[in-house]
């Protein structure tokens, strides 16, 4: 009876065009069938600060009656540890319901830049695009540039992966780093034909994406303390695309 006739929400910290929106909509279509009372579930977009605006809201303000869920950004833990003064939440206090998959951050570059592998970026300056500085789309490529001595920068402020990809097509930037589902679901034609438009040149994660066996891992390009740093950032992929409820939701509801 707690859920009967109710409308539940799933909050995401990005625009609807990315994989957070895709997964949240899949969850919304099917989750209600498995909750007593069969509630209606809708998805709410709250973009900002690489997804952390939504997380801060969920932690402090989101109602705790069990009718509100969230798809936490995969960087929620590493951001809390790296920038504790700016992150106004404790990821351990969210009640985690589960994860649908794990993800790697895949760096993709336009081939007309002259870049076909990571080493080329030591000579050719590349600009990347992403949402906010707390997103994996910012952290992973900036880390790569710093550790490997690559030329370039990452411009934040685009509202999700779709806007970043559009910026690549319009020539504002030449690179972005998102999970492989983003690339293959939005622009699969980029990677096909005799003259492909773009190429995946690097991945950051705990293990290679099974669909990208020939794309090198950042962890294999570094050693010592730097390898430990990369492995730490790669843990974000373990969270992938999952769901949680805010702190304080009663156990008998969640």
What digits encode the pLDDT tens for the residues 157-215? 998 888 999 999 999 999 999 999 899 999 999 999 999 999 999 999 989 999 999 99
Note the pLDDT of residue 188: 96
Structure confidence at residue 50 as a pLDDT band (50, 70, 90): confident
Mean pLDDT of the region 14-36: 90
Highest mean pLDDT among 18-22, 82-86, 222-226: 222-226
Mean pLDDT of the region 7-22: 90
Cβ neighbours of residue 211 closer than 8 Å, sequence gap 6 or more: 180, 184
Nearest by Cα to 135 from 47, 205, 216, 207: 47
Which residue carries 């969640």 as its tokens? 254
- Counting residues of the chain whose pLDDT is more than 90, the rounded percentage is 79
Note the pLDDT of residue 139: 95
Whether residue 38 has pLDDT greater than 80: yes
Note the pLDDT of residue 18: 82
**In the 3-class helix/strand/coil scheme, how is the chain assigned residue by residue?**
CCCCCCEEEEEECCCCCCHHHHHHHHHHHHHHHHCCCCCEEEEEECCCHHHHHHHHHHHHCCCCCCCEEECCCCCHHHHHHHCCCCCCCCHHHCEEEEECCCCCEEEEEEHHHCCCCHHHHHCCCEEEEECCCCCHHHHHHHHHHHHHCCCEEEEECCCCHHHHHHHHHCCCCCEEEECHHHHHHHCHHHHCCCCCCEEEEEEECCCCCCCCCCCCEHHHHCCHHHHHHHHHHHCHHHHCCEEEECCCCCCCCC
Mean pLDDT of the region 49-60: 93
How confident is the prediction for the chain on average, in pLDDT? 93
CB burial of residue 85 (10 Å; 0-12, 13-18, 19+): exposed
Q: Give all strands of the β-sheet with 198-204 in edge-to-edge order.
A: 152-156, 126-130, 175-178, 105-110, 198-204
Structure confidence at residue 44 as a pLDDT band (50, 70, 90): very high
The 10s digit of each residue's pLDDT in 101-133 is 888 999 999 999 999 999 999 999 999 999 889
Whether residue 253 has pLDDT greater than 90: no
Phi, psi angle pair for 190, to nearest 5°: -60, -30
Structure confidence at residue 49 as a pLDDT band (50, 70, 90): confident
Structure confidence at residue 17 as a pLDDT band (50, 70, 90): confident
pTM here? Answer: 0.84
The 10s digit of each residue's pLDDT in 232-249 is 999 988 888 899 999 999
Whether residue 254 has pLDDT greater than 80: no
The 10s digit of each residue's pLDDT in 208-228 is 999 999 999 999 999 999 999
Mean pLDDT of the region 60-87: 93
CB burial of residue 147 (10 Å; 0-12, 13-18, 19+): middle
């Amino acid at each position: 009876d707690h859920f009967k006739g109710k409308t539940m929400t799933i909050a995401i910290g990005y625009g609807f065009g990315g994989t957070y929106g895709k997964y949240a909509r899949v969850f919304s279509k099917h989750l209600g069938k498995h909750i007593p009372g069969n509630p209606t579930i809708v998805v709410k977009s709250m973009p900002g600060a690489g997804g952390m605006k939504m997380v801060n809201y969920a932690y402090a303000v989101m109602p705790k009656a069990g009718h509100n869920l969230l798809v936490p950004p995969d960087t929620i833990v590493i951001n809390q540890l790296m920038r504790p003064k700016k992150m106004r939440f404790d990821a351990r206090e969210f009640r985690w319901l589960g994860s649908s998959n794990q993800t790697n951050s895949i760096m993709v570059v336009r081939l007309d830049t002259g870049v076909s592998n990571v080493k080329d970026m030591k000579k050719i300056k590349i600009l990347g695009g992403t949402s906010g500085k707390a997103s994996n789309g910012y952290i992973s490529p900036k880390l790569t540039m710093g550790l490997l001595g690559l030329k370039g920068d990452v411009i934040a402020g685009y509202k999700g992966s779709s806007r970043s990809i559009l910026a690549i097509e319009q020539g504002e930037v030449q690179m972005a780093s998102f999970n492989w589902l983003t690339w293959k679901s939005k622009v699969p034609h980029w990677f096909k034909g005799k003259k492909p438009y773009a190429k995946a040149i690097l991945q950051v994660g705990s293990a290679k994406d099974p669909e990208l066996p020939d794309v090198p891992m950042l962890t294999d390009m570094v050693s010592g303390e730097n390898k430990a740093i990369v492995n730490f950032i790669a843990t974000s992929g373990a969270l992938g695309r999952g769901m949680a409820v805010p702190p304080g939701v009663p156990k008998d509801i969640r």
